Structures are given as structure tokens and as C-alpha cells.
């Protein structure tokens, strides 16, 4: 029996029992589709986070109060104890480092903003004029925080605050009440979307001194430092550490992280997560493989008479084994291809539903899913095929 | 040299703890071109004999020579090749593959032998024409009458031009008129030189044959 004939015979057998074949292909395709969609989700999340960090600016060094002993960054030591305050003066001192272009202190808090009876929760960011350039932000209207008056009661608001509190009316020059203070709006940020867990459209930016006074605090949340160029990130980090150590009585009580280390950590965490969900989804592929075996065992029983006939007509054991193996392979292949298409459709639906999530399945996951489907299908097809090939022709012929 | 030569054939089945001699010390010689009817009550061993002649079963003792060659010692795959090239089977229940058309059923032995498609189409076309089935070529077995089904089965059994045609109650599932038609077809094939061995319990059918072997309890009780 030539390979082409074996394939054609197996195809006729597969199409000869349409319901069984449909169910089998469905089971296998769900397994493959699950791997494709779940890895698309995991990898999409990974890419999303990386993009978010990239939008911070490419040569950023971040200073956190408190010391974490590990070299890398993880979400746990983002919350650190603060033995000594990180101050606005520290931020100013860092500009003297040769590798540093500019710095911006950062405080973050939440409060209520009220205008004309309308009330809204907002994120309050306290910083200095350099923040605008450092974060590569643009203004839609007005101007940013004035350099000459660091204690002025002025505010720059996000695009969404403008539209929700002021509507089509211009916010410039209006007085906004934040907590128990009144500030004059001098600028509106251009709409940017998400950035580092903080929606820049929903912030109110105040001069850092005003913000510290408002929250009755002395310590900064972060100091953002921009190196002169990307290659100077490591020198900038060393210099920042040296300056702060001197200013803090010789003790290095801050943590300096670079964007690369943060990125690498998130990349690792989310990459592992993707492998994890791929593994879970792969279980359904193994189940589908066992289903192939079951279906093929039933097929052998169902077609015992036919196997006997083929033997009587002079089919060798190998010919019968190959025919059943080819049928198992065909079922798995059809399931794999259908599952791949379903999975891609699912990933497309995800991307359509959640616009910011780049949910593309990684190539390795697609290859692994298709490969696993075919291999399990064939592997689990071997036992039924061997059983068919070993059937006693006299016994088999009697079952018709 | 006889086409088929059996000597001292034994076939024992174990049912529970008792041994049943389906064939006991059987000697038989059949010449090429003969027309033999194997008759006997059910359980007399006639089907076992046919399975043995068709290399579907192996004897527990004795020697079977087909065309002078000892075929009892061949491996399963070698026996499959002998079946393919030298032996044609016709069954009582036709044994057509239900999902394949008449033409595809007839082509099965050619496909198993690895004969190329063009040659296959030519030979199947000729066979269907010889058996008056040309306008039924694309019909599946469930769209054919009993007589047509058996004719497809006979076309399939003879497509490889075997030396022996083994028919097991070929008219058992057919009405009298259709049965006679099928028997005439088999006899016509015998007339062209194919050895025909037919198992039947129908005395009228047996009387057509030039040689009748009657079996009882695994033994040959008459041969004329």
C-alpha cells in the first residue's frame, strides 16, 4: 500500500464518520486554541508592561527611599522602610552629578478636587518644572509649573480632569479646591493615556512644596533622574548613590533602580506566568490525546469486520497499522489547524476588546501547541493501530 | 503437481477444558481448475477447512502445500502476500466496506498490492464491465441490491486473477433467483480456469459441483 493510498484510505475513514470526526477535531482544537489564547494573554500582559515602562523615558534612574538588599527589583521591596527622609534638596543635589541631565522629585497622594460643586477623586503629584521634560509630556493649554515661584498655589491638570470638572469651559485661571486648599489652574496636560500605573490624564500636578505641605510630609515618594544618555545610566546610578550616601551621613539608605533592571524583572515574572498558563492549557492537549486513543480504540472495535476483510484481501499488518495511525494523525492535524485558527480568532477578539493589550500568541507557544497536538495524537494512536494490526483474521471476519 | 495438497492436517480448538477436533488427520488434494463443493452440517469443520485453505488460520499439525510450496511455515506477512496474489474470497455476507463505492471496493486488493492508480482504474473499469456493474460504479453498498453486492464482492475477489476462489455460502444471504445467478457467475469463472472451492450446506447447490467433499466431525466422510 503506497503512502498516498494509506492517506486517502484514512481520509475516507475519517470522513465516513462525520459526527465522531467533528467531536474529535473539536476536542483537539479546544486544547490548541486554549494554549494559543492563554499564551497570547500572558505575553500580551508582558509586552504591555514593557511598553508602559518604555514610555517612562529611555534613560531613567529611579531613587526610592529605604534600602533593599537585593540587586534587582521586585514588587515587595518597592515598599521599603524609610530611616531617613528623601528630600527635595537631595533631588536638587543630584543635578550636580556629571552623568545626570535633570532630576524631578515626586510625591504621590490622593485627594478630592472640587470645582463648581463637582467633586472627583484625583491623584495628586507633587514635583518640579523639570518633570514635564523628564516624562516627555506635552501641554494642551497654558503653561507648566513656574520655576521662579516654587511655593505658588498653582496646578496643572490632566486632560480627563479638565473634561470632567470643567467640560468645554477652559480651566486656565480657574480656582480648584483640593482638600482644604485652593489652587489656580495654569495648565492642562495633553491626553496621553496610561503611564506606570498612574493615568496621566487623571492627575493634578502641584509644586512639590505645596504637595508636601498638603500631605504634611517631608519625604519624597521617588526621585526621578534622567541620565544624559542611555550609555550613562550605570555611571549616573553610581554617582547618584555616592551623592546620596554623602548627604545621608555616609549611609546608603536609598535604593537606586534603573529601568532596565525593573524591565528585566517584570519580563521574567510575566514570561514565567506565560509558561505557566501554557503548561495548564497543555493539559487539555494531553486530555485530547487520550480522547484520540479512545476514539481510535472504538474505531478498531467498530471496524473489526473491515480489518478482517482487509487481511483476507492480503493486507500486511503494517498496512493496517499505518492506515489507523494515519487516521489518528489526520484527526489531530485537523484539530490542531482548527484550534490554531480558533486561537488566533480568540486573540484577535481579545485585542479588539482590550485595545491596550497587545495579545499576540508567541511563536514558541504556537509551535509547541501544534507539535504537542500532532505528537500526542500519533502517540496515542499507536496502541489502537497495533491492536488493529494484530487482530486474528478469522475472529475479525466473524464480526460483521 | 496438485494446486492444493493437505496432508495430516489437525486443527484443535480448546473450549473450556475440552479439546474439539475441528479438523482431524485430513488429507486432501485439489487440482488446478477443479470445482469442489465442501458440504456438511454446521460444526462439521467445513468453515475451518476453508479458513485454512485461505491462509486465514494455521493448522496445529500437518502440511499445506499451495502450488507446491509449503505455506504453513510462512510468516503472517508472507501469508498476506500469498492471499493477495493467489487467493480470492467470497463471503456469505459480502463484506463490502460500507463507506466505499462499488469501484473503490473492487479496487481494494489492487490498492493493497500497491498497483498504480492508472492501472487500477483500467482494471476496475474492465471488471465492473464484465460483471455488468458499470452503471453502479459510484454507488455505495447500501445503494445496491443483494445480487449486485455479491457481484461486486466477486469482482473484488477475482481482480488480482487468483489461482483459487474460496466461496463461503455465497448464496446464503440471497433469494433463490439471485443465488442461481451468482452461482452461474462463479461457474463461468471456473470455466475460465479458476479453481473454485465452495462451502455450502445446500444439497442442490452442491450437486452443481463436479466434486463433492462431505465433512463430519472434522473428518472427510465422502469425496466423489
SS (H, E, C) A41-66: HHHHHHHHHHHHHHCCCCCEEEEEEC
A16, A305, A313 ranked by CB distance to B112: nearest: A313
Least confident piece of the model among A69-73, A94-98, A309-313: A69-73
B95, B100, B112 ranked by CB distance to A314: nearest: B112
DSSP H helical ranges for chain B: 46-53, 76-86, 102-112, 117-130, 146-158, 176-191, 203-206
Predicted pLDDT at A80 = 52
Beta-carbon separation of B77 and A316 below 8 A: yes
B83, B114, B160 ranked by CB distance to A312: nearest: B83
Beta-carbon separation of B84 and A12 below 8 A: no
| DSSP for A315-383, written as a single string | --HHHHHHHHHHHHHHHHHHHHHHHHHHHHHHHHHHHHHSTT------HHHHHHHHHHHHHHHHHHHHH
Predicted pLDDT at A314 = 92
- Place A353 in a pLDDT band, splitting at 50, 70 and 90: very high
Distance from CA of A326 to the nearest CA of B (A): 15
Q: Which residues of A touch B56 (CB under 8 A)?
A: 311-312, 393-394, 397
Residue pLDDT, tens place only, A113-165: 999 888 899 999 999 999 988 888 888 889 999 988 888 899 999 988 888 88
Q: In this structure, how many other beta carbons lie within 10 angstroms of the beta carbon of residue B122? A: 11
- Classify A82 in phi/psi space as left (phi over 0), alpha (psi -120 to 50) or beta: beta
Calculate mean pLDDT across residues A326-330.
92
How many CA atoms within 13 Å lie on the side-chain side of B183?
A: 24
- Place A55 in a pLDDT band, splitting at 50, 70 and 90: low
Beta-carbon separation of A314 and B85 below 8 A: yes
Element (H, E) at A115: strand A100-115
Answer with the residue of higher pLDDT: A70 or A164. A164
C-alpha dihedral over B56, B57, B59, B62, to 10 degrees? Answer: 0
CA distance A16 to A106: 70
Q: In angstroms, how far is the first alpha carbon of chain B from the final one? A: 20
Per-residue pLDDT for A75 more than 70? no
Highest average pLDDT, of A336-345, A358-367, A374-383, comes from A336-345
CA distance A229 to A99: 8
CA distance B89 to B163: 11
Beta-carbon separation of B56 and A312 below 8 A: yes
> CB of A394 within 8 Å of any CB in chain B?
yes
Q: Which residues of B touch A13 (CB under 8 A)?
A: 99
- Average pLDDT, whole number, for chain A? 86
3 state SS of A172: coil
A306, A309, A312 ranked by CB distance to B54: nearest: A312
> CB of A309 within 8 Å of any CB in chain B?
yes
> CB of B78 within 8 Å of any CB in chain A?
no
Chain A, residues 317-336, CB within 8 A of chain B, namely: 317-319
Beta-carbon separation of A393 and B99 below 8 A: no
Predicted pLDDT at A400 = 60
Beta-carbon separation of A313 and B91 below 8 A: no
Cα–chain center distance at A383:
41
Predicted pLDDT at A79 = 53
A5, A12, A314 ranked by CB distance to B83: nearest: A314
Calculate mean pLDDT across residues A363-374.
89
The C-alpha cell at A84 is 531617613
Regions of chain B where pLDDT drops below 70: none
Q: Which residues of A touch B97 (CB under 8 A)?
A: 306, 309
CB B2 within 8 A of CB B197: no
B121, B117, B115: which is closest to B138 by C-alpha? B121
CA distance A75 to A64: 13
Distance from CA of B139 to the nearest CA of A (A): 15
The C-alpha cell at A214 is 498638603
- Place A228 in a pLDDT band, splitting at 50, 70 and 90: confident
Beta-carbon separation of A393 and B113 below 8 A: no
Per-residue pLDDT for A255 more than 90? no
Q: A–B: how many Cβ contacts below 8 A?
A: 67
- Search chain B and give the residue with CA nearest A306: B97
pTM score above 0.90: no
> CB of B163 within 8 Å of any CB in chain A?
no
Predicted pLDDT at A253 = 84
Calculate mean pLDDT across residues A14-35.
91
- Search chain A and give the residue with CA nearest B49: A394
Predicted pLDDT at A193 = 59
CA distance A396 to A54: 68
> CB of B19 within 8 Å of any CB in chain A?
no
A291, A323, A287, A293: which is closest to A306 by C-alpha? A323
Element (H, E) at A272: helix A259-302
By DSSP bridging, strand B211-216 and strand B35-39 are parallel
By DSSP bridging, strand A254-258 and strand A60-65 are antiparallel
Write phi, then psi, for A376 (nearest 5 degrees): -65, -40
Predicted pLDDT at A291 = 86
B85, B99, B113 ranked by CB distance to A12: nearest: B99
CA distance A44 to A361: 8
Q: In b/e form, how buried is each residue of A61-80, taking b as 16+ CB within 10 angstroms?
A: bbbbbbbbeeeebeeebeee
A5, A305, A313 ranked by CB distance to B109: nearest: A313
Q: In this structure, how many other beta carbons lie within 10 angstroms of the beta carbon of residue A117? A: 5
CA distance B60 to B62: 7
Residue pLDDT, tens place only, A167-219: 888 889 999 999 888 999 999 998 875 555 567 788 999 999 999 999 888 88
A223, A173, A193, A215: which is closest to A64 by C-alpha? A223
> CB of B1 within 8 Å of any CB in chain A?
no
The C-alpha cell at B21 is 477436533
B24, B163, B164, B7: which is closest to B72 by C-alpha? B7
Distance from CA of A280 to the nearest CA of B (A): 39
Predicted pLDDT at A290 = 87
- Going from the C-alpha of A97 to that of each of A92, A134, A238, A368, B34, the distances in angstroms are 10, 16, 10, 50, 112
Write phi, then psi, for B28 (nearest 5 degrees): -155, 140
Q: In b/e form, how buried is each residue of B202-214, taking b as 16+ CB within 10 angstroms?
A: beebbebbeebbb
- Going from the C-alpha of B191 to that of each of B5, B66, B86, B187, the distances in angstroms are 22, 21, 17, 6
Predicted pLDDT at A281 = 84
3 state SS of A195: strand
Predicted pLDDT at A267 = 84
Per-residue pLDDT for A83 more than 70? no
> CB of B93 within 8 Å of any CB in chain A?
yes
Per-residue pLDDT for A385 more than 80? yes
Per-residue pLDDT for A77 more than 70? no
A176, A265, A200: which is closest to A57 by C-alpha? A200
Distance from CA of A294 to the nearest CA of B (A): 21
Residue pLDDT, tens place only, B151-198: 999 999 999 999 999 999 999 889 999 999 999 999 999 999 999 999
B57, B81, B91 ranked by CB distance to A314: nearest: B81
Per-residue pLDDT for A81 more than 60? no
Beta-carbon separation of B56 and A394 below 8 A: yes
Q: To which residue does cell 479438523 refer?
A: B23
Amino acid at each position: 500500500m503506497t503512502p498516498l493510498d494509506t492517506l486517502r484510505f484514512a481520509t475516507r475513514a475519517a470522513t465516513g464518520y462525520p459526527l465522531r470526526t467533528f467531536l474529535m477535531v473539536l476536542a483537539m482544537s479546544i486544547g490548541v486554541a486554549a494554549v494559543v489564547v492563554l499564551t497570547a494573554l500572558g505575553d500580551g500582559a508582558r509586552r504591555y508592561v514593557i511598553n508602559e515602562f518604555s514610555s517612562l523615558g529611555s534613560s531613567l534612574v529611579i531613587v526610592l527611599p529605604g534600602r533593599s538588599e537585593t540587586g534587582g527589583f521586585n514588587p515587595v521591596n518597592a515598599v521599603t522602610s524609610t530611616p531617613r527622609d528623601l528630600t527635595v534638596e537631595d533631588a536638587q543635589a543630584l543635578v550636580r552629578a556629571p552623568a545626570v541631565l535633570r532630576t524631578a522629585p515626586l510625591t504621590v497622594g490622593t485627594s478630592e478636587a472640587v470645582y463648581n460643586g463637582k467633586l472627583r477623586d484625583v491623584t495628586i503629584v507633587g514635583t518640579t518644572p523639570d518633570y514635564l521634560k523628564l516624562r516627555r509630556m506635552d501641554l494642551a493649554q497654558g503653561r507648566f509649573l513656574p520655576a521662579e515661584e516654587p511655593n505658588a498655589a498653582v496646578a496643572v491638570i490632566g486632560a480627563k480632569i479638565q473634561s470632567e470638572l470643567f467640560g468645554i469651559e477652559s480651566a486656565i485661571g480657574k480656582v480648584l479646591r483640593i482638600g482644604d486648599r485652593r489652587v489656580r489652574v495654569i495648565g492642562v496636560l495633553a491626553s496621553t493615556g496610561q503611564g506606570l500605573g498612574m493615568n496621566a490624564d487623571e492627575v493634578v500636578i502641584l509644586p512639590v512644596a505645596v504637595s508636601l505641605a498638603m500631605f504634611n510630609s517631608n519625604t519624597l515618594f521617588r526621585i526621578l533622574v534622567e541620565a544624559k544618555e542611555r550609555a550613562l545610566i550605570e555611571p549616573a546610578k553610581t554617582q547618584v548613590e555616592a551623592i546620596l550616601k554623602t548627604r545621608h551621613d555616609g549611609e546608603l539608605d536609598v535604593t537606586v533602580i534603573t529601568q532596565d533592571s525593573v524591565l528585566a524583572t517584570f519580563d521574567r515574572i510575566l514570561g514565567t506566568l506565560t509558561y505557566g498558563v501554557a503548561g495548564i492549557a497543555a493539559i487539555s492537549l494531553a486530555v485530547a490525546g487520550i480522547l484520540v486513543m479512545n476514539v481510535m480504540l472504538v474505531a478498531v472495535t467498530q471496524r473489526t469486520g473491515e480489518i478482517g476483510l482487509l487481511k483476507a484481501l492480503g493486507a500486511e499488518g503494517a498496512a493496517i497499522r499505518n492506515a489507523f495511525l494515519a487516521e489518528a494523525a489526520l484527526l489531530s492535524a485537523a484539530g490542531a489547524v482548527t484550534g490554531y485558527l480558533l486561537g488566533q480568532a480568540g486573540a484577535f477578539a481579545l485585542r479588539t476588546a482590550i485595545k491596550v493589550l497587545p495579545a499576540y500568541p508567541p511563536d514558541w507557544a504556537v509551535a509547541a501547541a501544534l507539535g504537542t497536538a500532532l505528537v500526542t495524537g500519533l502517540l496515542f494512536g499507536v496502541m489502537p493501530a497495533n491492536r488493529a494490526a494484530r487482530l486474528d483474521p478469522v475472529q475479525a471476519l466473524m464480526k460483521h | 503437481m496438485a494446486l492444493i495438497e493437505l496432508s495430516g492436517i489437525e486443527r484443535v480448538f480448546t473450549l473450556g477444558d475440552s479439546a474439539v477436533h475441528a479438523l482431524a488427520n485430513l488429507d486432501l488434494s485439489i487440482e488446478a481448475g477443479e470445482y469442489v463443493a465442501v458440504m456438511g452440517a454446521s460444526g462439521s469443520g467445513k468453515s475451518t477447512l476453508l479458513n485454512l485453505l485461505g491462509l486465514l488460520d494455521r493448522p496445529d499439525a500437518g502440511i499445506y502445500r499451495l502450488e507446491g510450496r509449503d505455506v504453513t511455515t510462512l510468516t503472517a506477512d508472507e501469508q498476506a502476500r500469498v492471499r493477495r496474489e493467489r487467493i480470492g474470497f467470497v463471503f456469505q455476507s459480502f463484506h463490502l466496506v460500507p463507506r466505499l463505492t462499488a469501484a473503490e471496493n473492487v479496487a481494494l486488493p489492487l490498492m493493497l498490492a500497491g498497483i498504480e492508480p492508472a492501472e487500477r482504474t483500467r482494471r476496475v473499469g474492465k471488471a465492473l464491465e464484465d460483471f455488468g456493474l458499470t452503471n453502479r460504479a459510484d454507488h455505495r453498498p447500501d445503494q445496491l441490491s443483494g445480487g449486485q453486492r455479491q457481484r461486486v464482492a466477486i469482482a473484488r475477489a477475482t481482480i488480482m486473477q487468483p489461482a483459487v476462489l474460496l466461496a463461503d455460502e455465497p448464496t446464503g444471504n440471497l433469494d433463490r433467483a439471485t443465488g442461481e445467478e451468482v452461482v452461474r457467475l462463479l461457474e463461468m469463472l471456473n470455466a475460465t480456469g479458476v479453481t473454485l472451492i465452495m462451502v455450502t450446506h445446500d444439497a442442490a447447490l452442491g450437486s452443481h459441483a463436479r466434486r463433492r467433499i462431505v465433512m463430519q466431525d472434522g473428518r472427510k466422510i465422502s469425496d466423489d
